[in-house]
Homo-oligomer: A and B are copies of this chain.
Amino acid sequence: MTYCLGIVTQSGFVVAADSRTNAGVDYISTYQKLFDFSEPGQRVILLCTSGNLAITQAVVNMLNRDLKLGECESFHTLPTLYDAACYVGEKIRHIQERERPWLERDKIDFSCNCLLAGQFQGEPPELYLIYRQGNCIQATPETPFLQIGETKYGKPILDRILSYDTSVEDAAKCALLSIDSTMKSNISVGPPIDLVMYRTDSFKVGDRLRLGQDDPYLVEIRKQWEISLRQAFDQMPPIEWMGL
């Protein structure tokens, strides 16, 4: 499985992804799921992928290929992030069309979902979730985060902490805790964690992190969070039972 999330706030956006891939429990490996297609100064484009690894790698390969061959349609020629999201959707459709009959007859899951976050010159920062069917939805001030993959374990912390007014630094911390909570509860999501924080109108990916299992910062926040949660729990008022 996989867990990726994106958060867009009034001051920027955050994208984060784990790196675990598993084909059954006896074939667990590490693959990067967060990709940077930015053109510094012009456009910032971050892509996260989840789903069938052969499909998601094919999509990323085709996106890179268009850039390399200077195709007229590529991440560096499209005018808006919405166009880029539709373009990713077209790639997903193309690959799925090609692979689907072969995978479907062996009952192999061929799903592929993507998050696309970025900012183009003259546009605000945006965040899209692109479905396996190639269509997409956009994060809004009312719903400032989008998730793909193993999304449920890490949602409560986002629901409690995040809003569109959250600082981008706090959004990054919250993303990290959301992934760490998921890793604790589900073995199919695992390190290293890739994290990128982007500030509106900077047009460069200035702040990024890759945190391995034993990274001192990850160990520290995990320990602190456990202690703080325990304290919060201990402060909860006792239950007043109704009796029989």
Given A169-B239, A242-B208, the answer on whether A174 and B233 have CB atoms closer than 8 Å is yes
CB <8 Å contact, A228 and B235: yes
Distance in Å: Cβ of A161 to nearest Cβ of chain B = 6
Give the interface size class of chain A. 35 or more
Is the Cβ of B241 less than 8 Å from the Cβ of A209? yes
Cα A161 to Cα B227 in complex, Å, equals 10
Q: Please tell me if the beta carbons of B209 and A237 are within 8 angstroms of each other in the complex.
A: no
Chain B residues with CB under 8 Å of A186's CB are 152
Q: In the complex, what distance in Å separates the CA atom of A209 from the CA atom of B238?
A: 13
Cross-chain pairs A/B with CB under 8 angstroms, 11 sampled: A156-B184, A159-B184, A173-B239, A177-B236, A197-B239, A206-B244, A207-B242, A208-B241, A209-B242, A228-B235, A232-B232
Taking Cβ atoms with an 8 Å cutoff, the residues of A that contact B are 152-157, 159-161, 169-170, 172-174, 176-177, 181-182, 184-186, 195, 197, 204-210, 217, 220-221, 224-226, 228-233, 235-244
